[in-house]
Amino acid sequence: MERIDGRAFDELRPIKIEAGVLKRADGSCYIEWGKNKVYAAVYGPKEVLPRHLERNDRAILRCRYNMAPFSVEDRKRPGPDRRAVEIGKVMSGALEPAILLHHYPRSMIEISVEVVQANAGTRCAGLTAVSVALADAGIPMRDIVPSCAAGKVEGQIVLDLAKEEDNEGEADVPVAIIPRLNQITLLQMDGKLSEKEVEDTVNLAIKGCNEVYKLQVDALKRKYEGAEYE
């Protein structure tokens, strides 16, 4: 089967990652993943607001996902919606086990994901950018968290669905992993798959995550090799 953009079934879209792109954030990252363009910014650890969310034994993570009105073909209504709240939640769930939150009791790490151009897979692109931004902010982590989806299009299991494939596809399964802990921290499924297909799809997504991981490490290396120390 030929894919719409000519990719092999197990081929990622082109990915470019740049760490430390925003001066005002404590850590940041910009990612281009196919036609997706996403910024991630990290602030903190800082004071917890609202106060009642404060935890005595650890930092809390707040993750905000936003899609710009001009990020999609038909202008998106600005402001948060159910989808954005859901994605913020699953992203923070995917990251929490990787971050040494107990190092920062009574504080908060604030994460913003801004999607400026969307073409399917923005939660994976966002998550991938966030862990680079967290590392850029110097937040101690057990490992960085790569994310990638796989799914089913015209009866075939394929890696990293682009928007056109997502529209026609039978299923989309975004995954995030913590490689060093051998742990899956995000697994969602939209669509219908048999048990065997679920297994194949998740395994293919994990393979994609491992490729993405290398690009994250490269981006961080580039940032620190090029850094000017004052």
Stretch that binds ligand ADP, among 11-19, 54-62, 96-104, 119-127 (CB under 6 A): 119-127
Q: Work out whether 122 is an interface residue with ligand ADP (CB under 6 A).
A: yes
DSSP string over the chain: ---TT---TT-PPPEEEEE---TTSSEEEEEEETTEEEEEEEEEEE--SSGGG--SSS-EEEEEEEE-GGGSSS-PPSS--HHHHHHHHHHHHHHGGGB-GGGSTT-EEEEEEEEEE-SS-HHHHHHHHHHHHHHHTT--BSS---EEEEEEETTEEEES--HHHHHH-SEEEEEEEEGGGTEEEEE--EE---HHHHHHHHHHHHHHHHHHHHHHHHHHHHHHHS----
Here's the x/- map for ligand ADP, 52-81, by CB under 6 A: it reads as --------------------x-x-x-----
Binding footprint of ligand ADP, residue count (CB under 6 A): 12
C-beta closer to ligand ADP: residue 142 or 189:
189
- Minimum Å gap between C-beta 177 and ligand ADP is 16
Stretch that binds ligand ADP, among 20-28, 48-56, 114-122, 151-159 (CB under 6 A): 114-122
Please tell me whether the peptide bond between 45 and the residue prior to it is cis, using omega within 30 degrees of 0: yes
C-beta closer to ligand ADP: residue 26 or 165:
165
Stretch that binds ligand ADP, among 42-50, 57-65, 121-129, 194-202 (CB under 6 A): 121-129
- Minimum Å gap between C-beta 57 and ligand ADP is 32
C-beta closer to ligand ADP: residue 171 or 220:
171
Q: Work out whether 128 is an interface residue with ligand ADP (CB under 6 A).
A: no
Residues at the interface with ligand ADP (CB under 6 A): 72, 74, 76, 83, 118-123, 163, 166
